[in-house]
Amino acid sequence: MLDAGPPGGSVLRRAITAQRRRVAAASLLGTTHQACEAMVPVVIGVIIDRAVATGSGAALLRWLLVLAVLFLVLSTCYRTAARITDGSGELAAHRIRTELGTRVLDPRGGADSGRLPGALTAMATGDAARVGAVVAALPYGIAAVAGLAVSAVALLRVSVPLGLLILLGVPP
């Protein structure tokens, strides 16, 4: 009979490490998406200040073009990040399922003998799905923290007192 195998934390670290390029790419694209999201109200404020308040039609068209490009980048980064993120989660889950299948079918044993035949398969499938979900959630978490940082900097550049009031006064 084979040993019990690696603990859960080790399996999770190995799954994330195996998908590190995809996780990094999705995190970078997600961060860009969140930064663009945070800049939308800033650009709208600039449009009001530089185009609407001055009555300049040329400035309005120029800034609306900037806003359109911002939305194009925002949308493209999100769609690409989501596709990479989903793929990395599925690949991580597939790798876990493959390793578990190899272990269960090992001629030396490796399957828990005290369970019904389908119980180990059901547990393995559920565990693999959870590992894949963690790998897929990681880029979203990284992007959210980066988006919060960009929003905080933009808010503090507009008004330090208002920014501090909002950042420190709003309950977590």
- Mean pLDDT score of the chain: 88
- The DSSP call for residue 114 is T
The domain spans of the chain are: 8-146
Homologous superfamily, domain 8-146: ABC transporter type 1, transmembrane domain (1.20.1560.10)
pLDDT at position 113, please?
A: 66
- HEC string of 18-71 equals HCHHHHHHHHHHHHHHHHHHHHHHHHHHHHHHHHHCCCCHHHHHHHHHHHHHHH
Predicted confidence (pLDDT) at residue 1 exceeds the cutoff of 50: no
Name the amino acid, one letter, at 159: S
Among 18-22, 120-124, 127-131, top mean pLDDT goes to: 18-22
CA angle 156, 158, 164 (to 5 degrees): 35
Least confident interval from 3-12, 14-23, 108-117? 108-117
Predicted confidence (pLDDT) at residue 119 exceeds the cutoff of 80: no
3-state secondary structure of 172: coil
Q: Are 15 and 95 in contact (CB under 8 A)?
A: yes
pLDDT at position 6, please?
A: 66
